[in-house]
Structure 1
Amino acid sequence: MLTLTGCRVVTQRTVLDPGWLTVADGLIVATGRGEPPAGTPTVDLGGGWLFPGFIDLHMHGGGGAQVTTQDPAEIRTAVSFHRRHGTTRTLASLVTDSLDRMVAAVSVIAAMIDAEEPGIAGIHLEGPFLNPSKRGSHHNDYLLAPDITALRRLLDAGRGHIRVVTMAPELDGGMALLAEVLRSGAIVAVGHTEATYRQARDAFAGGARLATHLFNAMRQFHHRDPGPAGAALADPNVTCEIINDGIHVHDEAVRVAVAAAGADRIAFITDATPAAGMSSGTYRLGPVPVIADAGSVRLADGTLAGSTLTMDAAVRHAIQVTGIPVVEAARAAATTPATLLGIADHTGSLTPGKAADIVILDDDLAVRAVLVNGAPVHGSLPR
């Protein structure tokens, strides 16, 4: 048993300042404000913040490595890179590639999850069932029209570990594919889409529960046709991903989205590429070369192609630039994605009884240490 003291503890409803948090056997057993209870060994952090471990629904790579690959070591490198930035659980997100290569990559990641690979909470298929006109960085030659046979190949390879499938519901056969994804138990995300407001609304009414990187790679919001973004923000059952890096979405648009949906329905994501944490240069995102420069990642024609974002940077930007309250930022980075994935009963907030998945940040919100089940996986506790 150990009590962390001398810090600000971000709970689901408030910030305990000064606060304390007690860990035992990998679980949070108590939190409080002021002086900690006597009789327990303590570590005084001397300031800073305790946040719940971040949960990223949408990560393609980082540290020079990507996850659309058949190489477990490369996948592990990407996951480990983001863990150092506070992401205690992530979905390994695949970009569109040839169906055979996607099936092979899904099978490799599923085997890693079966072997309890740390940090991977499941698989996200961002493709191949996307609208070519909104494909972004996805390779046009490998996009598929909605095809239930192809979907079942991917689902079979995933062995129950595919948690999210992004698709464009307006494509011919899209709603039938949506129903098949739901039957598998995975979450349908609407994204890379030209859907009108009505088409997106129908997809959400049909069971889709997530909007992939809200505003990006989708029909624009218009006052006579609010499009997918308007449909997602208006539906109380839909969670909206946001790439909060100040590049993909204007800060004021983020404020509007949070005001419209509430932090309970906003999930910060990275959409990170192998260029995250690396210098400027050319990298590969699946079969596509992408160019990283000045903090952004683009195709040769200037199209945005994922990001260099990490979850700690998304949280800092939310609080220090966008002006989102600390509690709401923590919710969007941890609690909301945990709820969507159905794992909020044991992670996603600093609540007694849940896993001690904790990000320790300094006063400027930079990562000092990351704990998973109460044990440091990055950095260390003061002695």
Structure 2
Amino acid sequence: MDLDGTDGVDEVVRGRVPRPGGFDDVVVAISGGVVSDVRAALADDPEPAGILLPGLVDIHNHGGGGASFHSTSAEEIAVAAGVHHAAGTTTLLASTVTDAPERLLEVVAALATAAEDSLIAGIHLEGPFLEHSCRGAHDPDLLLAPDAGLTRELVAAARGHLRVMTLAAELPGAVEVAEVLAEAGAVVALGHTAATAAQARTFLDGPGSLVTHLFNGMPPAHHRDPGPVLGSLGAAGVGSACVELIADGVHLADETVRSVMSMVPGSVVLVTDAMAAAGMADGDYQLGPLSVEVRSGVARVADGTGSGPIAGGTSRLIDQVRRHAAAGIDLALLMRAASLRPASVVGLDAGRLEPGVRADLVVTDESLQPTRVMRGGEWLTAHPGLVS
């Protein structure tokens, strides 16, 4: 193929693509918004633009740039999506939070429209079928017992765009809800749960295939009471499930991230759990029906003490990749967890620089700060209000 801009090639980008232990110098050709060719660079090719990454994929994201996905406003949903797109997360699921059923149905319908407009790749329902004692930043008054009928209504409102639902496996009715989700083609995720290790393993060997933010929203592991943490790691270790990690230095210690990635390297999915303050300055925000205060970049439910439960994240996915690459984790491994693995676990054709895949790519400098982002073959502009 001729890569000089003729023969239908719209764009040519050369860069250093991470591979285990190093980089490959490659040229990517884009035609009609799709990657048309990827090959080793030659001496007469354009100068390398920098480090070249596939577009990142975030499957657990509540918002950013001051806007929330838990909204019926098309404008607000577009702002939240655009902020993450411009920071290199070119594919994302919009996550909801626990709310009254009638409100939740309205939000899901609005998100379905956003998916039809290609702003998001689908919907993640986090709640309302969560364990009360592990609720985190979910309104305790709005939590419900698993209800197959309500789940069917939510599936219908999503119009084929429901990708994931988080569920506490030990609650009565959870199995029936999981069956409805499976029929709809949605991934069943174990989360906000106090399940025993045996319950978690059984759930993840059956209907479940994903663990919502491992460690967070569940009791800590103990050597005589392993609980959902070790049950989930056991399932991940045999390939039955993937585990989400919020690797932002707030939700998890960096050494926890390193340890899990060394134990189950092929089963880790990096997520942000981002809320409206992602990329923004400290201040007061909303997470669904709850008020949230962000101080020193940490979001907590506003309770008048400044020590309420952590209420989502404020990072972008590239921030987590950069943080852990600087700490010595192999960039190729991090990118698998931030692109290919999350895409594959929810059935999305994304997160890869390969012919035939939508042309989503991120060009960064040597410190992994994005310099240019392409989504669907179009270069994006930065959001003016973002904090770098």
Calculate the TM-score normalised by the size of structure 2.
0.90
**Aligned runs of 1:75-94 on 2, under 5 Å?**
75-94=77-96
**What secondary structure, in the 3-state scheme, does the structure 2 residue paired with 1:209 have?**
strand
The equivalent residue for 1:202 is 202
1:274 deviates by 0.5
Matched-pair contact (CA < 8 Å) for 1:234–1:261: no
The equivalent residue for 1:146 is 146
Correspondence for 2:376 among 373, 376, 382:
373
Question: In 1, distance between residues paired with 2:33 and 2:176?
Answer: 43
The equivalent residue for 1:362 is 365
Question: In 1, distance between residues paired with 2:181 and 2:13?
Answer: 43
1:295 deviates by 1.4
The equivalent residue for 1:254 is 257
Which 10-residue stretch deviates more, 16-25 or 178-187?
Answer: 16-25
4+ long deviations beyond 4 Å: none
**Aligned runs of 1:286-301 on 2, under 5 Å?**
286-299=288-301, 300=303, 301=307
**Aligned runs of 1:261-340 on 2, under 5 Å?**
261-262=264-265, 264-299=266-301, 300=303, 301-321=307-327, 323-340=328-345
The equivalent residue for 2:12 is 3
Cα offsets for 1:261-293 (capped at 9, x unmatched): 11x211111101111122211111000001101
Matched-pair contact (CA < 8 Å) for 1:31–1:352: yes
Aligned residues: 366
Q: What amino acid does structure 2 have at the position aligned with 1:328? A: L
Query: In the alignment, is residue 239 of structure 1 matched against residue 261 of structure 2?
Result: no
**Aligned runs of 1:169-248 on 2, under 5 Å?**
169-235=169-235, 236-248=239-251
Q: Percent identity?
A: 39
Matched-pair contact (CA < 8 Å) for 2:21–2:330: no
Cα offsets for 1:315-341 (capped at 9, x unmatched): 1012112x2201011101100011112
Matched-pair contact (CA < 8 Å) for 2:51–2:364: yes
**What secondary structure, in the 3-state scheme, does the structure 2 residue paired with 1:356 have?**
coil
Matched-pair contact (CA < 8 Å) for 2:196–2:228: yes
1:191 deviates by 0.5
**What secondary structure, in the 3-state scheme, does the structure 2 residue paired with 1:360 have?**
strand
1:34 deviates by 4.3
From the superposition, tell whether residues 378 and 361 of structure 1 become closer, same or farther in structure 2 (CA, over 3 Å): same
Query: In the alignment, is residue 18 of structure 1 matched against residue 31 of structure 2?
Result: no
**What secondary structure, in the 3-state scheme, does the structure 2 residue paired with 1:216 have?**
coil
Question: In 2, distance between residues paired with 1:43 and 1:211?
Answer: 43
Query: In the alignment, is residue 348 of structure 1 matched against residue 351 of structure 2?
Result: yes
Question: In 2, distance between residues paired with 1:327 and 1:253?
Answer: 19
Calculate the TM-score normalised by the size of structure 1.
0.91
**What secondary structure, in the 3-state scheme, does the structure 2 residue paired with 1:202 have?**
helix
1:207 deviates by 1.7
Question: In 1, distance between residues paired with 2:146 and 2:23?
Answer: 49
1:259 deviates by 1.4
Matched-pair contact (CA < 8 Å) for 1:295–1:308: yes
Question: In 1, distance between residues paired with 2:173 and 2:338?
Answer: 34
Matched-pair contact (CA < 8 Å) for 1:370–1:377: yes
Q: Which has the higher strand share?
A: 1
1:29 deviates by 3.0
Segments of structure 1 that go 5 or more residues without pairing to the other structure are none
The equivalent residue for 2:63 is 61
Which 10-residue stretch deviates more, 82-91 or 169-178?
Answer: 169-178
Segments of structure 2 that go 5 or more residues without pairing to the other structure are 1-8, 383-388
Matched-pair contact (CA < 8 Å) for 2:201–2:234: no
Question: In 2, distance between residues paired with 1:180 and 1:225?
Answer: 31
Matched-pair contact (CA < 8 Å) for 2:362–2:370: yes
**What secondary structure, in the 3-state scheme, does the structure 1 residue paired with 2:176 have?**
helix
**What secondary structure, in the 3-state scheme, does the structure 1 residue paired with 2:82 have?**
helix
Matched-pair contact (CA < 8 Å) for 1:9–1:20: no
1:14 deviates by 6.9
The equivalent residue for 2:386 is none
Correspondence for 2:109 among 102, 107, 110:
107
Question: In 1, distance between residues paired with 2:25 and 2:379?
Answer: 22
Matched-pair contact (CA < 8 Å) for 2:137–2:310: yes
1:104 deviates by 0.4
